[in-house]
Amino acid sequence: MPQAFHGNSGHHPHGSRGPDGDSELERFIALLVDGDRIGCRDHLREYIAAGHDAHDALECLAWPACDALYRLSRNDQISGVHEHAALALLGQLVQRIECGLSKRPARCQTIIVTSGRAQAEELAAEIFAGIAEADGFDVVYLGGGVESDDLFAETGRRRPAFVVSFASAGSDAPRLRRFIDATRRQNPVPGLLIGVGGGVFERVPGLADEIGADLIADTPFDMLAAIQDSDRSRLEARSTLRRRKA
């Protein structure tokens, strides 16, 4: 079985952040943990007014903040209630930011997006759904904790080009494995590619390959890049085949 494509790793997507970026992020995280709704909105308005766009806000503020809150909670540096409230507030802000994303022409391809039940992974899936939709994909966002049988049925009904799941808990892996095994056996959508990301796949190297995933990435942005690369490769392969037939 081919190994999964591995996107870029690292806590901050797409390279290191400068001192100004770290300061912006630290301030944003502090506002989220404090539950300061007005302060968070004002911070985002200032960030956009400084010359950044909605994609920058998702990639350089929202996603790193989501990742940081998850890690702070795992390390017992913030309480569960503070993590829950901060992620709930961040989720509301993400939906507002996504409304400002620039839209690309339709690709006429569908991506089904799901996640584990953890709040941070649902938010990772939401961020991915927003940027994939802006990139021209038709996105079906199923939310967190979808059982393998239901995901398989929806895949057969929707016939997507890709299925993407973000998962943080070890208990999510068996559910994904059952879905992937059923998909490989019955092949409801020829050419379907399955991408996985999230904490459990970061903590257990090789798990994505073991369960049979095609794509793996640590961030929503790396996942979209992996899908774009694989989509480009498929188009090039089809073009080569047409030339040979001609």
Residues 6+ apart with CB under 8 A from 143: 114, 115, 122, 125
Residues 76 and 27: beta-carbon distance below 8 Å: no
Residues 196/176, Cβ–Cβ less than 8 Å = yes
Query: Where is average pLDDT lowest: 2-16, 37-51, 64-78, 102-116?
Result: 2-16
Helices and strands: H and E segment counts in the chain: 11, 6
* CA 160 – CA 154 distance, rounded (Å): 9
Query: Is 131's pLDDT higher than 70?
Result: yes
* Lowest-pLDDT choice from 32-36, 145-149, 206-210: 206-210
Nearest 10 degrees: Cα torsion 27, 28, 33, 36: 100
Name the residue among 14, 20, 70, 85 with its Cα closest to residue 47.
20
Q: pLDDT band at 147, cuts 50/70/90?
A: very high
Q: What does the pLDDT average to over 162-186?
A: 89
Tell whether the model's pLDDT for residue 125 goes beyond 70.
yes
